[in-house]
Chain A
Amino acid sequence: MDFSIKNHRVLFHLWDTPVYLTDTLIATWIIMGALILLAVVVRVRLRRFQEVPRGFQNIIETMVESMDNFTKTIMGPGFDEFGPYFFGVFLFILLANYSGLFGLRQPTADLAVTGALAMMSFVLIHFRGIRMQKRGYIKEYFSPHPVFFPINLVGEISKPVSLAFRLFGNILGGVIIMGLIYGMLPLALRIVLPDLLHAYFDVFAGSLQAFIFTILSMTFIAQKSTTE
């Protein structure tokens, strides 16, 4: 039963606070490496792309196009630049949730990672809101009546908190249940029996949570930047 994040060694000291090389850091680097490799491969192959797509080009074009269309259906027109960003976020969360299948500890089962992802959404929500709404942004906090200001403020703060905790709690729940099951089973039974649970907790719940995170971030951003 080990579902804690292990500190392997001290990397460096930041004002006397040791920064550790954790399981999360290793898994995040591996996922980042895989994503960067994919990007480089696509960039190299891009030169040889033809008018009529075939094979590898077909897969890549389908992925990018479906994500752009998805962004357009959820956020409406005028948010085209968010398609590539959310494609990146979605792929990162998806690979992070699937990494449990390869024996890594899921980076999304660490509150630091999900908190960082939620903060990215938080910054986007408010910068985009200020840029699009200008004065209406401030006014929205005092609507329908100035008495509601504290409630509106708490509502804004709770958005990134709930985004972070939803992803973290769901993935960590899966990690804990898998850890308990692996601790319970004898060595011979560990090969076949947990497969079904992996399929549920890692593949199904993982892709669902990645989808939920992106769709909710999209909805929040679109909601905040529409002027009335």
Chain B
Amino acid sequence: MDGRSFILGMSALSAGICTLSGLGSGLGQGIAAGKAAEAVGRQPEARNSILSTMLVGAAVAETCSVYGLVIALILLMANPLV
């Protein structure tokens, strides 16, 4: 086995591992959505502001998984190691 194919195989493997970063953001977004549902249940008249606050929070929580996606794409398509 030459070095190049070893690096390529390991890059593909690590790109798969990078997508695990979605785990944390999925958990965080789920908690945010659950809390928002609780808040709407308690205060139905504040539904619109709760919804927009939750969407912004969920988008910020999503950033880390997007970083994982970008790293996975760099490893697959523009690999700096090869």
Instruction: Please list the residues of chain A having a beta carbon within 8 angstroms of any beta carbon in chain B.
Output: 4, 162, 165-166, 168-170, 172-173, 176, 208-209, 211-212, 215-216
If the complex has contacts A162-B63, A166-B62, A166-B63, are A173 and B56 also in contact, measured as CB distance less than 8 A?
Answer: no
List B contacts of A209 (CB < 8 A). 59
Bound CA–CA A209/B60 (angstroms) = 11
Bound CA–CA A165/B60 (angstroms) = 11
Chain B interface mostly helix, strand, loop or mixed?
helix
Bound CA–CA A212/B56 (angstroms) = 6
**B38-77 near A? 1/0 per residue, CB < 8 Å:** 0000000000000010011001101100110110010001
CB distance from B60 to the nearest CB of A (A): 8
Nearest to A74 among chain B residues (CB) is B52
Bound CA–CA A173/B59 (angstroms) = 15
Bound CA–CA A66/B63 (angstroms) = 28
Bound CA–CA A213/B80 (angstroms) = 30
Chain A interface mostly helix, strand, loop or mixed?
helix
User: Can you list 15 A-B contacts (CB < 8 A)?
Assistant: A4-B77, A165-B66, A165-B67, A165-B70, A166-B59, A166-B62, A166-B66, A169-B67, A173-B69, A208-B55, A208-B59, A209-B59, A212-B55, A212-B56, A212-B59
List B contacts of A168 (CB < 8 A). 70
Query: How many residues of B are in contact with the other chain, CB < 8 A?
Result: 13
Bound CA–CA A208/B29 (angstroms) = 15
List B contacts of A172 (CB < 8 A). 69, 73
* A170–B52 touching, CB < 8 Å: no
List A contacts of B62 (CB < 8 A). 166, 170
Q: Which 5 A-B pairs have the closest CB atoms?
A: A169-B66, A212-B59, A169-B69, A162-B63, A169-B70
CB distance from B52 to the nearest CB of A (A): 7
Bound CA–CA A170/B73 (angstroms) = 13
List B contacts of A212 (CB < 8 A). 55-56, 59
Bound CA–CA A216/B58 (angstroms) = 12
